[in-house]
Amino acid sequence: MTVSQDIKPVLVIHGGAGTIERSSMKPDKEKAIRKSLREALDKGYEVLEGGGSAMDAVEATIVFLEDSPWFNAGKGSVITKEGHHELDASIMDGATLNAGAVSGVKTLKNPIKSASLVSKKSPHVMLYGRGAEKFALENGMEKVENSYFTTPSRLERWKALNEGKGDNSLLEPSKYGTVGCVALDKNGNIAAGTSTGGMMNKAYNRIGDSPIIGAGTYADNKTCGVSCTGHGEFFIRIGVAKEISDQMEFGNKSLEEAVNYTIYQKLTDMEALGGLIAIDKEGNIAMPFNTPGMYRGFKQPNQTYVGIYGDD
């Protein structure tokens, strides 16, 4: 394949969408979240600038976001009805269409690393629960106690929901906490990844769209890379991430046309809330959402942007 020398690396991230408004955000929290988003962009873009692959950049970026307590992925994940954490993640390589995912894991420090491992060392695409953990640990992934993922604010919210303890004002408005990253590297390859702790107080081992290739994550060098955040049940029904790619490949739509139709028309007509991030093969970026806010940002040559609210 002949690679254009004009390709410039691009990285875009999200940290969840929902009812995220200035009036309810404390200044110190906003400052910390913006700082974390910017540092995540720097972490991933450093990989791209050094000639690293889009896959490596996506993994490095999401590892940083999983390690941050501000987002619902890895450290800081929400708590299930039973009082523990169940984490999901997926990653996809647009050059090969190879993909990996883990779901319902409880002891893997960085689920995105394990998803990447599945894509590289397993003949399967998705592994679940204890089997996913066994595979990851046999291949050198880091194990932690489930309590590692708990933060005081998440625990207090969970108690307010389930035990009648804590301050009910701590119950945050509707927010679909997920982290994701899409990258375009110097070789023109696209990758996308998504990681989440799921829904607060979820029961029955509920699984959303984040670990499902084609729903929450998709990448294809011919079209685009996509990572979603929102009410996962609707994103699964539509197959949002793959639908964006299909509109571009078979409907000859631009990235902007495809994402705008899916988010602002199709999902909105279903009264489904959320957003997504995407990069096309030309390096164009999209970050649409139909909620009041979405933690988001992008980095490309000579430009870095971080946003939270709809008017950022």
Tell me the catalytic residues.
178
One-letter identity of residue 260: N
Among residues 237, 225, 304, 242, the alpha carbon closest in space to that of 271 is found at 237
User: How far is residue 229's CA from residue 231's CA, in Å, rounded to a whole number?
Assistant: 7
CA dihedral 141, 175, 245, 311 (to 10 degrees): -120
CA distances (Å), origin 224, targets 125, 176, 190, 297 = 20, 23, 7, 17
Instruction: Give every CB contact of residue 13 below 8 A, 6+ residues apart in sequence.
Output: 37, 40, 41, 44, 61, 65, 179, 180, 181, 182, 277, 296, 297, 298
How far apart (Å, rounded) are the C-alpha atoms in residues 41 and 188? 19
